[in-house]
A and B are shown apart, each in its own frame.
Chain A
Amino acid sequence: MVITMPFSCIEEAGSAVAAAFDNCSDLNVRSFTCGSAKALVITVNELADRNYVSEKIVRPMLAADPEKTGDFSSLLQTAAYEETDDIDKICASLCSGGAFAAYENKKLMCAVCPADTYFGRSAAKAETDITVKGAQAAFVESADKNVSLLRRVIRTPELKCETYVKGRVTSTKIDVLYIRGRAPERVLEKLRAKIENINAEVIVDSGNVESLIKNNRFGFFPSFGSTEKVDKAASLLVAGRVVIVCDGSPFVLTAPYIFMESLQSSEDYLRSPYYATFMRALRFASLLTALYLPSMFLLLSDSRHELLPQEIYSVTEKLRRDIPVPLFFELMIMLIVFEMLREVGLRMPRSVGDAVGIVGSIIIGDAATKAGIASTPTILAVAVSAVANFVVPVYMNTTSLLRLLFLISAYAAGFAGLAAATGAVLCVLAAKCELGVPYLLGIYPFRADFMTDFILTIPQLTLGRREDL
């Protein structure tokens, strides 16, 4: 039952809320009288802080003199309250941990006040994007807490926070944070329009927000950055990015996201620029290794072995002589088995997953070579490619798929197929544009100023630099 008219008496207010929460045994209704006045306080169990409600709402109401009480400002001791008799607003407030208070003496007064209790975990160490040096604080599941964590790092009123509530069933809070004057206005306008146009039933994670606001819902590459590290999000805000915090998710989204960011780590700015440059070159090389090693191994040891030094080819050929399966299928089988083992390691409880991953890979690899199904050079190529895949975790899933695509292309048409597949992937990347910012910004369109923070790391200059997106 939805009542849109103002309540005429306190009983009607109580019954309207009770009707809206029909069959909800966790609704806590407390009605009492204080002299000639009648009062009512409604909360949802465990969402509202019992002590807070008791101390700041119920006790002042009981102690109030009905003759002197004119409005809620002298009655409630809460930090904030909003007078309303809109049943939708009251329900929304109760669902997010608020309390509904009604007081009737000569006239009826109704208000909602925040009284929520935080029962989530406190800020902990990041489990992804781990660094040896530098801040370790990670975001948690509460959006308010995450915003406050960012405010502790960026202590300026120029850090703006716009809040949206989306998801018809979940009413999830989405905060958009940016530093005024640093984040481009055209990016903000596009992002606001996209978030306002979200039409979804359920939003439970920042990943849902990403899939709802990105340009191409069938896109192959990640459209937004994702981090659980507070320092990384803060440095991106300073660089002119926008951070999207979704209530319920410890990962925040950063936008616009460009390819160059995938090679950067927050630790790069804390250590020697020579080492940072070396590490970035290594990450880029690892990305290429993860993508191309199996297909290049197929080409060089199968169809184009004249390109390999004779000694290396003779060793490979000797080890593969008794393998009954063609090299392409051998590689495919080993890559798929590896993906299975990776999935086990991720989904199982950590203690079991690690054991299954290590034992599984050793036993399967050993058994496959002994059974003559796979050769050691093949297992080595697959293993190196798999390890290299983890060096740039942003593209971990994309690389796994592209690696198979490249392998099939190389099998179908040799170097030509590999070149065509590479060209097609580059074409998709070059055309990709999110919030009006090209995905390959810096590379295409070429920007010399971005090159100082791509593979080459120029010290100090990059700190707090505002990127002209």
Chain B
Amino acid sequence: MTDLCIVFGCAAASAAFEESNFVLSLCLFTFASSAFSFVKRQYAGFGYVSAAFACALFHYLYTAYGVQVALCFAFFAVAAAAAGKGGAEGAGRILFFASLPLLAVMPFFAGDTLPSAQAYHLVFPFAGGICIARLCRRRPACAVISCGLGGAIGAMVRVCGGVCGELFMYSGLFFLAQSAVCGIITRAKRTYNRER
């Protein structure tokens, strides 16, 4: 009934915000991922959604973590997304499993809170929810339950912070970044093939 990719994506997207924006981000991600799970067809518009998601996410990375982190994420996300959607989904699941020990010890190694995103970055949980829903293709009920779990994990990451929270966030944000780039590349490939 849960999808680990949605849990992971939702946890990272919601933990990027604090206080009221945290709740808003969680709601947006849950709404987007469940609502767009109904959509079965592929529309060209999803390419623009992925692009908007990527822009907002990389702007957040730039403002919160610096230009080096944003560039590094962009470089590796492009390299990883070239492997395809299956690779992005698989990497998300494995990264989430690898991050589980971090979640287990996180309360014991609480530290500084993580840098927070601004209100205008709220576009990225919404667009991210759509992209992750397109990537995983789960039923809406599954998306809602997964987002609930993701929200709980996100809240824990936001409250505890510290080095464990930081590592979890990096993994989650990278998964979101590669999903965004993967969405763009997939759409671009489809358009290119159709025009040929």
Residues in chain A within 8 A of chain B (CB atoms): 304, 307, 409, 412-424, 426-432, 440, 443-444
* A431 to chain B: closest residue by CB: B87
Given contacts A409-B72, A423-B76, A430-B87, contact A416 B170 (CB under 8 A): yes
| Segment of B26-34, B89-97, B117-125 engaged in the interface with chain A | B89-97
Q: Is the beta-carbon distance between B72 and A427 smaller than 8 angstroms?
A: no
Q: How far is the CA of A414 from the CA of B66 in the complex (A)?
A: 11
Which of A421, A423, A443 is B175 in contact with, Cβ under 8 Å?
A423
Q: Is the CB of A416 within 8 A of B91?
A: no
Does B135 have its Cβ within 8 Å of any Cβ on chain A?
no
**Quick one: given A415-B167, A415-B170, A431-B84, are A426 and B94 in contact (CB under 8 Å)?**
yes
CA of A332 to CA of B183 in the docked complex: distance in angstroms?
36
Q: Which residues on the B side are within 8 Å of A415 (C-beta)? A: 163, 166-167, 170
List the A side residues contacting B80 at CB < 8 Å: 423-424, 427-428
Report the number of A-B residue pairs with Cβ-Cβ less than 8 Å: 97
Per DSSP, chain A at the interface is helix
Residues of B within 8 A of A414 (CB): 69
Residue on B nearest A420 in the bound complex, by CB: B76
Q: In the assembly, what is the distance between CA of A419 and CA of B93, in Å? A: 14
Contacts A424-B80, A426-B95, A428-B80 hold; do A419 and B87 have CB atoms under 8 A apart?
A: no
Interface residues of B in 42-82 (CB under 8 A from A): 65-66, 68-69, 71-73, 75-77, 79-81
Q: A419, B86: Cβ atoms under 8 Å?
A: no
Query: Residues of B with Cβ closer than 8 Å to A?
Result: 65-66, 68-69, 71-73, 75-77, 79-81, 83-84, 86-91, 93-95, 163, 166-167, 170-171, 174-175, 177-178
Q: Are B69 and A413 in contact (CB under 8 A)?
A: yes
Residues of A within 8 A of B76 (CB): 409, 420-421, 423-424
Asked if A423 and B95 make an inter-chain contact with CB atoms under 8 angstroms apart, the answer reads: yes
Cross-chain contact B73 with A427 (CB below 8 angstroms): no
B12: min CB distance to chain A, Å? 11
List A contacts of B65 (CB < 8 A).
416
- Point out the residues of chain B lying under 8 angstroms from A422, CB to CB: 95, 171
Q: A423-B76, A431-B87 are in contact. List 13 more A-B contacts (CB 8 A).
A: A412-B71, A413-B71, A416-B170, A420-B77, A420-B170, A420-B177, A421-B76, A423-B174, A424-B80, A424-B91, A427-B88, A429-B87, A431-B83
- Docked Cα-Cα span, A428 to B81, in Å, equals 8
In the docked arrangement, what's the CA distance between A430 and B92, Å? 10
Known: A417-B69, A430-B87. A444 touches B174 (CB 8 A): no
Smallest CB–CB gap between B112 and chain A, Å? 10
Query: Nearest chain-B residue to A405 (Cβ)?
Result: B76
26 contacts between A and B (CB under 8 A): A409-B76, A412-B71, A414-B69, A415-B166, A416-B69, A416-B73, A420-B72, A420-B170, A422-B95, A422-B171, A423-B76, A423-B174, A424-B76, A424-B77, A426-B90, A426-B94, A427-B87, A427-B88, A427-B91, A430-B87, A430-B93, A431-B84, A431-B87, A432-B83, A444-B93, A444-B94
Chain B's closest residue to A426 (CB) is B91
Flag if B178 contacts A419 (CB, 8 Å).
no
> With A419-B170, A421-B76, A423-B175 in contact, is A431–B86 under 8 Å at CB?
yes
Shortest CB-to-CB span from A41 to chain B, Å, is: 59
The 9 closest A-B pairs by CB, nearest first: A430-B90, A431-B87, A427-B80, A431-B83, A419-B170, A413-B72, A427-B91, A424-B80, A424-B76
Instruction: Decide: A420 and B90 in contact? CB cutoff 8 A.
Output: no
Residue of B at shortest CB range from A216?
B83
Q: How far is it, in angstroms, between the C-alpha of A430 and the C-alpha of B83 when the chains are bound?
A: 9
Q: How far is the CA of A304 from the CA of B80 in the complex (A)?
A: 27
A324 CA to B25 CA, complexed, in Å: 48
Q: Check A430/B91 contact, CB under 8 A, given A415-B166, A423-B174, A424-B79.
A: yes
CB nearest neighbor in A for B166? A415
Q: Inside 8 A of B163's CB, which chain A residues have their CB?
A: 304, 307, 415
| C-alpha spacing A269/B178, complex, angstroms | 40
Contact partners of B79 in chain A: CB under 8 A: 424, 428
Closest partner residue, chain A, to B86 (CB atom): A431
Q: How far apart are the CA atoms of A29 and B191 in the complex, in Å?
A: 66
Contacts of A418 in B (CB 8 A): 170
How far apart are the CA atoms of A307 and B111 in the complex, in Å? 11
Neighbouring B residues of A419 by C-beta, 8 Å? 167, 170-171, 174
Please give, as numbers and ranges, the residues of chain A lying within 8 Å of B87 by CB-CB distance: 427-432
B103 to chain A, nearest CB (A): 15
On whether the beta carbons of A423 and B171 are closer than 8 Å, the reply is yes
Interchain CA distance A417-B80 in the complex, whole Å: 14
Please name all residues of chain A whose beta carbon is closer than 8 Å to the beta carbon of B69 when the two chains form the complex: 413-414, 416-417
For the complex formed, measure the closest distance between the CB of A324 and the CB atoms of chain B, giving whole angstroms. 24
- Known A-B contacts A412-B68, A413-B68, A416-B65; the reply to A444 vs B90 at CB < 8 A is yes
Report the nearest B residue to A408, measured CB to CB.
Answer: B72
Q: Report B9 CB to chain A, min CB distance, Å.
A: 13
Q: Please, how many angstroms separate the alpha-carbon atoms of A431 and B83 in the complex? A: 6
Q: How far is the CB of B59 from chain A (nearest CB, A)?
A: 16
Q: Which residues of B contact A421 (CB under 8 A)?
A: 76
Bound form: Cα–Cα A414–B170 in Å: 10
Contacts of A431 in B (CB 8 A): 83-84, 86-87, 90
